[in-house]
Amino acid sequence: MRPKLRWQQPVEDRAQRALTAHAGTAAIDLNNSAAYRQDISEVVLVSLTPQNNFAGMFQIGAEFAGPQLWWNEDALNQYKVTGDTAASLASTATTINFAQTDAAVLKVGYILMMDTQVGNPSQESMQITAINGTAITVTRAFSGTAQTYTTNTVFRIVNAPVNPNSDLGPDLTRQRLVKTNYINRVRFDANLDSEQILRTHQGYVPGIVDELGYQFQQRLAELLRLINNAMLYSYAQASGNPTNDFQTTNGVVAWLDGTANTNAVKISTAEAFNDNVLNTMITNIKKQGAVSKAVAVGDRLGQILGALYSDTIRREQSDLALAMVLDPDRIFIRPALGEFLYTIEAPSFRDGDAFSLLSKFAAEVRNSGTDAGYAHQLHTNLT
């Protein structure tokens, strides 16, 4: 349950002093020596996880400073290669052709096995004995029985043995990949007259003991809902200028549909949304190697696997006919330095009370594409 925040003044205080008048956050108010700013990030941190929502799956990452968020991703060498795109491979063939990028990660001695059959004791494995450009010579049936392979068969590197006192091989170092996203600033204001507040303090509004505290709770719920939606659906301004007014962050969908990461590839072919399809989604994404765990997120036909959703988000998901397979350990809500969630109250000449709820954050979605090994997958055409 979210912590209950009540700003009700003690009874004895009400009788002794008048209500403080607050203005909001105009420049004249913030420059006032009596302006009060309070960081209540712990409130939203405590509230996110217990609530049944999308953002509650993710960790709160480290704070960042400035209008732009930066992070590095490890670029591991691929461990899957696709063979003979032009012809099938007979059980007696000893040469496999690969694309240049695939051949570049192979070395003499590597053991290859058909990716969809790893773990099958009768499945054939092959050992690379020579490399000539993109033509790879292999020893068939290193283990198992030689078989025929269709075009575009994906092979997995299951081992990489070397000889004693082996020579220096090709350089396999990779540069780290730099990723960036933009700050998202949101604000919710409330401005109540003193009569509204006093009516609740004196018991004239059944069930509400403090109108200002009640409005705070409601605006906080809306703020959490907005963070939830922004983490899911938000797109940054097309100009990509981090100093733009009204800048927005790229949410998870933007990172997975090729917008924020051009190496991300969404699945847009028609798919029936059922348990078998969801299980296949999870199995396929776990094979990518960048995944520590995977859950399927979606709600077409009301079927959820491992997802945390509110009723509101469920209806939105049904309308979109999309589902995602995500590794929550690689998605972070990154707070702006000291400003994830805070309130501002300031005196003014108004006859009442006011507050502002402000939040600044960005989404960090790691391993969103094939450039660093993808840990997530977006499916956009569920039937």
Q: Tens of pLDDT along 111-143? A: 999 988 888 888 999 999 999 999 999 999 999
**In contact, 36 and 345? CB cutoff 8 Å:** yes
What's residue 274's pLDDT?
65
**In contact, 184 and 248? CB cutoff 8 Å:** yes
What's residue 94's pLDDT?
94
CA distance 289 to 327: 11
Domain limits, the chain? 17-73+178-379, 80-159
Asked whether the CA dihedral 222, 225, 227, 233 is positive or negative, the reply is: negative
What's residue 288's pLDDT?
61
Low-confidence ranges of the chain (pLDDT < 50): 1-32, 49-52, 299-320
The three-state secondary structure class of 161 is coil
What's residue 157's pLDDT?
95
**In contact, 105 and 172? CB cutoff 8 Å:** yes
What's residue 85's pLDDT?
67
**In contact, 48 and 220? CB cutoff 8 Å:** no
CA distance 74 to 105: 16
What's residue 316's pLDDT?
38
What's residue 39's pLDDT?
63
Q: Could you name the CATH architecture of 80-159?
A: Beta Barrel (2.40)
Q: Using one digit for the tens of pLDDT, what is the confidence trace for 323-367? A: 788 888 899 999 999 999 888 876 566 788 888 999 999 999 999
**In contact, 80 and 157? CB cutoff 8 Å:** yes
- Bridge partners (DSSP) of residue 130 are 137
What's residue 130's pLDDT?
95
For the chain, the first-to-last Cα distance in angstroms comes to 36
Task: Read off the amino acid at residue 196.
Answer: Q
What's residue 373's pLDDT?
77
Phi, psi values for residue 169, rounded to 5°: -95, -175
